[in-house]
Structure formats: structure tokens, C-alpha cells
Chain A
């Protein structure tokens, strides 16, 4: 009997410990600020759910939002979804329960948001989409979408290429490194680029594959592209990081990036700008992450009941190697 009693206490102790550890483990993953209902001190509370920290671009975006919230005197509740939609939905539900004033988020994927957005609407909390769009048919589910025009970024990239190759007579073989399958930037950049190069029948995309927006992914895919296609003239990567990974694959294949294979990317993060200034990339369409100040401004307007446009664009440009050299010293991210 004694041993059995001992066994039970031990088992219970283990169970309690497991639960505690699990709780700490889960708390560590959420990064979520699970504070109490905001005190009514007139201070605006903004709940923000970030995609994750998958790239330097995203980190700059996060920093911009955190800094401008502090500067604007807005109380920010920040959650990192670590690239998972279910985390993001949980975070938004938490914000609804905490009765924040405004919810903003960058959707991980485009679809599947109707239910949770409806919940926010029913609770009377306005939602602002940042950086990435959702494909909900009901536009009343969110107040506005502030962010880059990914189709335009793809289009600018394609137009540069069309201009660059207007004197080319033969076929120009293009390979494409897509972003995460199903994500808005991947879908839209592909679309914009495709539309722009349709103007020139010589331009042909011979292979297109996802590199998951990561350097390792870009490199692994490019290695096989290079082996499967003896003649590649242009690489179009949906972000700088995949382009940087592909650079290594191109060098390892004995080709000169920027010369043998022209490289077009999107984003303009520091490492990418450096590659452009070094002549390894040929063109970058900027996708600016510094939308914090604009977002805080919008949150205040929404709270005050002002009407705002359904679509707001972030200010962006494009870079050639010369422009990159000039811009590089002041690059924040």
C-alpha cells in the first residue's frame, strides 16, 4: 500500500510539473501580451498580430510599428504568429476579448479570415490590414488595407526587364523563385511580372518554383534550375533573401551573377542592396516595411470615426545599382 501511495503522489507530482512546464513553454512561444482589459485612461490601444520574424524585412516592419506606437503615445499589444494562421486567429480573438480599440494585422495567408473578422466587427472593433491583403468578398469586414501594391512591384520588375531586353532578338529564358505558396506577395508579384512581360513574346518563364522566401530555399531550388536548364538569362526572385541564396548557387555553377544571369528581386533590404551595389543584382523593386507612422495615424483616425480610403499605398521606389550605391549608407534595415 505504501508503495502504491508513493507511486500516486509521484505521478501527481509529475503531472503538475508537466502542466507547469507546458504552460511556461506555451507562454514563451506566444510572446503575447495577455494584459487585463485596458484601463480607460483615454489612451488608444492597438492590438497588432505580426506574421513572424522570417526576414530582415519583417523585423524592420516590426521595429517601425513598435517605435511609431511609442512615439504616437499608443498602447501597443504585439503578437508574433510565427508564420501560422491559427496563432494569428487566436491573437485576434484575444484582442477582441481584451476589448482593444483597434486591431491591425498582416495576414499569414490570404484566405480563411471571414469568421474571425466577423467576430471583430460584431464586437465593434475596427480592423486595419497591413502589408498583406485578405480575399474576403465582404469589404466591410475591415476598414482599410495599408501596404505595398505587390502587383505593382511585380509589374515594375517586369517592365524593367522588357526595357532592358527590347533589343534582344532570341528568346530570353527566365526562371522564377516564388514566395511561400498561397501568400499574397507570391501570388501578386507573379501576376504583375507575368502581365508586364506579356508585352514581349521573347520573354519566357521556363521554370518557376517556391523558395519559401528563404535563402536556403532559394539556393536549393536555383541549384536544380541551373542543372536542368543550360541557358538561363534572367532570375526573378520574389524577395531579396531567395535572390541572395540563388547567388551562391549561380557562383557555384561557375556563372557570374549580374552578367551571365541578370537578377531582379523585390524588397530592398540591406543585404540585397549591398548585392545590387556590388553589381551582383541588377534591379530591385522596393517594398518598404516602414509603415508604422502611417498605421498609427490611421488607427487614430479610425478611432475618431473619420472615414478613410479602403486602400492606402506605402511610399516606394525602385533601385538600379547606381541608386543602390547612393542609398546604401542611409539604409535602416
Chain B
């Protein structure tokens, strides 16, 4: 085999190769439909264009996806992130709406602190249910997924709280160095999470807990603490995403804010190559997955695909990406050569559930 062939095989075999191809294919399709799709112009001192919209709207999903990646890496899942978005956004907007001067920076900072604080508490609740009491993650977080929406509506009293606060609005639609502030926040959080998990042993410990919590515990890792920690991180990420979602429209809607974002986040994690069984995880993959999902949504609007067929269109793209990404599927359709190595055996084996 020549070196170029080996190199090509290394590129196509990379877990992120196919999501990248799908992303480029979507952008190409959009450009064919409307040649100006990729164009970006300066407007009011910042960049303006569909690509910028995708970045800005993907930011909350990236944040939620990052937290979800860590949770899934421990073999868990967090269904409550959408409700967390609604709760943190609601409490922040409620506080701002009660200020005499909504543009005062102090009031906005307190509002953000309130939102993050409440997220910490709710994350600790999820973490305690899973790591201390030992409830299955899908059930433990389902509680807040359902009850959390109610809580958000209690905070807003069922109304949509409209605010008029420039500093808060900046979180969702503000610009810094011509790019949306929200994407800076998302990338900043991503860098922090990457540094903490990849520059220290934490990432490996999380993977180890996801691989086998009991074996990790016997090896001297405090599995329960790690499990607790990832749910708190996930909640805080969701809380910050909630600020972006509500700041985007300068209003807190307890019912619609962050609705179904948990499913998009899980999808982003899966597209990014992280196994739902726990163990290895890829932060970069999740970010790419989030961008792909947002591009897909924006494509539906930009190409004006009728609402009746939009869901089917999304489903077909997602299924195609997931299938083509699976080595086993590709091996079946490889024209020649030996089948690609099967997926790591460990991921297929049923894991022992350990209640911390």
C-alpha cells in the first residue's frame, strides 16, 4: 500500500470525517440553492450573514452538548437540560424585569449569578439522585425534565416576561470583534472544559468511570464524586445556554425556551462520535455535531423547505450521517479489501450497573 493510500485511509477512518463531509455537503447544497448563502458582509460594525446566524444560534447547543458529553462519557444521560435552560433564563429575566433600571450592569450580573446558582442547585439534585441514591440517570433526570418546565412557568407565572436590557441582550445577540458574543462564550467554556479534562487526569478518570464505575472505584477513583460532578457541570452549561436562548429574543418563555434541546444535544454528542455506552468522549466532535444540527435547521429555513416535509428531511440527513459513520455499516458496503475492524468490543458488552 502506498503512503498516500494509508494517509487517505487515516483521514476517512477518523471519527469526525463523515460529520465534516455532511456539514460541507449541507453548506454546498445551500450555496447551490442560493449562491449568496456563504457570503458574509459588514453591517452596523459586525459581520452579517447566514453563517454568522448559524454560529450564534449553535452556541447554546454547543454549551448544552459539552455538558451532555461529559455526562454521557460516564455512561449516564441528562434529559433535564432543556428545562434547566428555561429555569435559568426565567429567573434571570424575572430579576432584571424587577430592576428600576434594566440596563444597570449590576442588576444583570446578579441575574446571571442567580441563574447559575439555581443551575448549580438543580445539577446537584440530579447528581445526588444518580450518584448517591443510585437512580438510573434517565429516570433521575426525567424528573427535572418534566417538573422543571413547571418550575420555569411558576417563575414566569405562565406569562412571557419581556425585558429591555442591553447588557443582558448582549449575551444573546451582542457582538465582540465583529463576531457574536455567544459563540465566544461557548468556545470559552469549551476551552475550559477541554483544558480541565485533557490537560489533567480528569478526562481519563471520567472515561474510566464510564467504562466501569465499580472497577474504577476499586482502583482508587471516587466514582460517585465524578458522577456527581458531571451532572453539576451539565446543569451549569445548560444554565448559561438558557441566558443565550432568552437574551436572543429579550424575553423568557417558560414553555418554549430550550424546548427539545436535550434531544438535539444528545444527537450532537452521538454525531460527534461519543458512545452512548460511556467511556471515550470527544468534545470537538460534539461541537461539530452541534454545528451540523444548527446548519440543518437553518437550511430548512434558508431553502424554504415546507414545514410538513422539514422533519422528514432532517431525519433522513441524521440517519444518513449516523449510518455512514458506523464502521460496521461502511464495511458492508466496502467494495473490496477486508472488512473494517469492528467497533471496540467493550462498548457492546452489557455493563454492570453500579449504584455508586
Residues of A bordering B, CB below 8 Å: 10-11, 14, 17-18, 21-22, 24-26, 28-29, 31, 52-56, 59, 62, 82-83, 178, 181, 207-210, 212, 214-217, 219-221, 223-225, 227-228, 241, 244-245, 248, 252-254, 271
Q: How far is the CA of A248 from the CA of B146 in the complex (A)?
A: 31
In the assembled complex, the CB of A174 is this many whole angstroms from the nearest CB of chain B, namely: 13
**Contacting residue for B53 out of A210, A223, A248, CB 8 A:** A223
Per-residue A-contact encoding for B134-160, CB less than 8 Å = 1, 0 else: 111001101100110110010001111
In the assembled complex, the CB of B21 is this many whole angstroms from the nearest CB of chain A, namely: 23
Which A residues touch B49, using CB under 8 A?
227
Which B residues touch A14, using CB under 8 A?
133-135, 355
**Contacting residue for B301 out of A10, A28, A224, CB 8 A:** A224
Any A CB within 8 A of the CB of B250: yes
CB within 8 Å of A: which B237-257 residues: 245, 248-251, 253-257
Any A CB within 8 A of the CB of B50: yes
Per-residue A-contact encoding for B92-135, CB less than 8 Å = 1, 0 else: 00000000000000000000000000000000000001000111
In the assembled complex, the CB of A122 is this many whole angstroms from the nearest CB of chain B, namely: 32
Q: How far is the CA of A55 from the CA of B57 in the complex (A)?
A: 22
**Contacting residue for B143 out of A25, A59, A217, CB 8 A:** A25
Total number of B residues with any Cβ neighbor in A under 8 Å: 51
Closest to B257 in A: A216
Which A residues touch B50, using CB under 8 A?
223-224, 227
Any A CB within 8 A of the CB of B275: no
Are A228 and B304 within 8 A (Cβ)?
A: yes
Closest to A186 in B: B307
In the assembled complex, the CB of A244 is this many whole angstroms from the nearest CB of chain B, namely: 8
CB within 8 Å of A: which B49-105 residues: 49-50, 53, 57
Closest to A227 in B: B50
User: What are 14 sample pairs from A and B whose C-beta atoms fall under 8 A apart?
Assistant: A25-B146, A29-B150, A53-B254, A207-B304, A209-B307, A216-B248, A216-B249, A216-B257, A223-B301, A228-B34, A228-B302, A252-B48, A254-B43, A271-B162
Which A residues touch B142, using CB under 8 A?
22, 25
In the assembled complex, the CB of B105 is this many whole angstroms from the nearest CB of chain A, namely: 22
In the assembled complex, the CB of B153 is this many whole angstroms from the nearest CB of chain A, namely: 6
Most buried by B among A17, A18, A24, A207: A18
Most buried by B among A24, A26, A82, A224: A224
Which B residues touch A53, using CB under 8 A?
153, 158, 254-255
Any A CB within 8 A of the CB of B308: yes
Most buried by A among B43, B149, B256: B256
Q: How far is the CA of A24 from the CA of B144 in the complex (A)?
A: 11
Are A227 and B302 within 8 A (Cβ)?
A: yes
Q: How far is the CA of A271 from the CA of B160 in the complex (A)?
A: 10
Which A residues touch B254, using CB under 8 A?
53
Q: How far is the CA of A83 from the CA of B254 in the complex (A)?
A: 13
Any A CB within 8 A of the CB of B36: yes
